[in-house]
Amino acid sequence: MSHDPTLVVAKFGGTSVATPARWRVIADVLRTRIAQGAHPVIVCSAVSGVSNALEGLLAEHTDADATRDRLEDLRAVHRTLAEGLGLPGDLVDAQIDELESSLDAARALGELSPRTRARIMAAGELMSTRIGATWLTAEGIDVAWTDARDLLTAEALEDAPDGRHWLSATCGFERDEALRTQLLGAASATLTQGFIAHNPQGDTVLLGRGGSDTSAAYLAARLGADRLEIWTDVDGLYSANPRAVPTARRLRRVSYAEAANMAALGAKVLHPRCIGPVRQAGIPLWIKSTQDPSATGTVIGVDHGEDGIRAVTSRKQLAFFTMRRDPTWQPVGFLADVTARFKAHGFSIDLISTSSGVIQATVDMAAAPLADDALDRLMADLETVCTPTLRRDVASVSLVGRNLRGSLPDLGPAMEALEAARVGMVTTGANDAHVTFVVRADEVDELATMLHGAVFGRGAAPALSSAVVRLAHPGAA
């Protein structure tokens, strides 16, 4: 074991694989890590915009002309990248042709199954990594292109009406020494795809939109990685979305629990699902920026022991349900009647607030694939037990941290920031890690800015005291 090199899993998102300049960053990361004696496992997204374009193709597949135009756009995107890297422009033409035949077949059959959808969406990551591996090899880096479907196996799930077991599968992530030995023996570095896996029958499945972070976390756990790095276009987790809140500050050190809550409540840098596997395996997670590779980023790891608010986050794609029934004293089963229906239609309740005659709840639509029809069916079913209303123009803004109930007295100035907003619902997380306000989507950015200012001051950095910033920075490596 003494010669076993360290193994680092590094995920590069869509913008980080979109241009020759970003691929040069990836090459630098590979060379540096290899020179340090580590085996890097690079997990790539599709080129930015490609997964959306593939979804567009699926939505319009019945229109043969639109399909052809969209396929030509996809061909052009990959041709530009390949030629920019000095490679033949037709490197992924075979894959585009294959997409065309699958779509033609679906049009002829008059049916597009979730199984076919998964195979078509998988092409994005297969194409980006084909181009990347060809170029890195030409650059003299000893990297093995590896099919992620040979690395990750989806758990068998019940058939769900929304095709979730094809489009948003989950995978086991128990450590696999044999897999680690296999990758270490194959080349100095591994390049693979995010987002895709096999099911136990050997079919292609997806891990849900934004699933490449999760792929990387599963792989880090399976391979017993020393570290997971998520390379993206911002240099870390911030105290608020820096694009909407100019005074937001980068957080150097964040606990797994805080990161999971921040991601679930709207921080876009990480997919909420990717924290669990690395947390269970005790693997530190670093956020790094491909735009500024030497920036220190954020380190996510074990609890740092500080209470209070760390960040203000917001989300826009919420569905907001208000369900009324004649109020009675201690009604039996109202909540059960309602929640059973959300479950039956495949929706996870996100935020909830109850009283004897009214229940309010939200669903995060960003997490629900193919859900619009299901939402109509849910509403019809809810009408059998209450009078439901549904609003789709709703957002949430959250104060996220640790032991927030202990910090309630400090929330005073933040509450004043709410004066002008029309708050539809207020909830506190049972995990004591967030206070969330449901508001109109067009009010949310302003409210987030005001809350951030009230909590952290206009220019103050919500940094942890240096005594708790114990772990080394990413930049130190």
Binding site for ligand ASP (CB under 6 A): 13-14, 45-46, 51, 124, 194-195, 209-212
The DSSP bridge pattern shows strands 298-301 and 253-255 to be parallel
**240/222 Cα distance (integer angstroms):** 32
Lookup: tokens for 411: 């929330």
Find the binder of Mg ion among 124, 132, 210, 297 (CB under 5 A): 210
Cβ-based nearer residue to ligand ASP, 45 or 313: 45
Lookup: tokens for 232: 């993206």
Lookup: tokens for 254: 């964040």
**374/218 Cα distance (integer angstroms):** 29
Residue 56: CB atoms within 10 Å: 16
Cβ-based nearer residue to ligand ASP, 194 or 462: 194
> What residues form DSSP beta bridges with 287?
230, 298
CB of 291 to ligand ASP, least distance (A): 17
Cβ-based nearer residue to ligand ASP, 50 or 323: 50
Burial class (CB in 10 A: 0-12, 13-18, 19+), 401: buried
Residue 297 in contact with Mg ion, rule: CB under 5 A: no
Our CA angle for 342, 346, 349, nearest 5°, is 45
Q: Show the site string, 156-195: x = touches Mg ion by CB under 5 A, - = not.
A: ----------------------------------------
CB of 147 to ligand ASP, least distance (A): 16
Q: Which does 163 bind (CB under 5 to 8 A by kind): Mg ion, ligand ASP, none?
A: none
CB of 268 to Mg ion, least distance (A): 7
CB of 316 to ligand ASP, least distance (A): 17
CB of 19 to ligand ASP, least distance (A): 16
Cβ-based nearer residue to Mg ion, 210 or 277: 210
Residue type, 309: I
CB of 230 to ligand ASP, least distance (A): 10
Q: Which does 46 bind (CB under 5 to 8 A by kind): ligand ASP, Mg ion, none?
A: ligand ASP
Contact 360, 322 (CB under 8 A): yes
State which residue has the least CB distance to Mg ion. Answer: 210
Cβ-based nearer residue to ligand ASP, 51 or 313: 51
Q: Which does 195 bind (CB under 5 to 8 A by kind): ligand ASP, Mg ion, none?
A: ligand ASP
Q: Which does 14 bind (CB under 5 to 8 A by kind): ligand ASP, Mg ion, none?
A: ligand ASP
Cβ-based nearer residue to ligand ASP, 99 or 448: 99
Cβ-based nearer residue to ligand ASP, 13 or 346: 13
Q: Which does 298 bind (CB under 5 to 8 A by kind): ligand ASP, Mg ion, none?
A: none
CB of 374 to ligand ASP, least distance (A): 20
Residue 114 in contact with Mg ion, rule: CB under 5 A: no
Q: Show the site string, 48-77: x = touches Mg ion by CB under 5 A, - = not.
A: ------------------------------
Q: Which does 194 bind (CB under 5 to 8 A by kind): Mg ion, ligand ASP, none?
A: ligand ASP
CB of 196 to ligand ASP, least distance (A): 9
Q: Which does 346 bind (CB under 5 to 8 A by kind): ligand ASP, Mg ion, none?
A: none
Burial class (CB in 10 A: 0-12, 13-18, 19+), 4: exposed
Q: Which does 272 bind (CB under 5 to 8 A by kind): ligand ASP, Mg ion, none?
A: none
Cβ-based nearer residue to Mg ion, 46 or 338: 46
Q: Which does 334 bind (CB under 5 to 8 A by kind): Mg ion, ligand ASP, none?
A: none
CB of 210 to Mg ion, least distance (A): 5
Residue 5: CB atoms within 10 Å: 15
Cβ-based nearer residue to ligand ASP, 195 or 456: 195
Residue 15: CB atoms within 10 Å: 17
CB of 45 to ligand ASP, least distance (A): 3
Cβ-based nearer residue to ligand ASP, 12 or 238: 12
Lookup: tokens for 266: 């709207």
Residues that bind Mg ion (CB under 5 A): 210
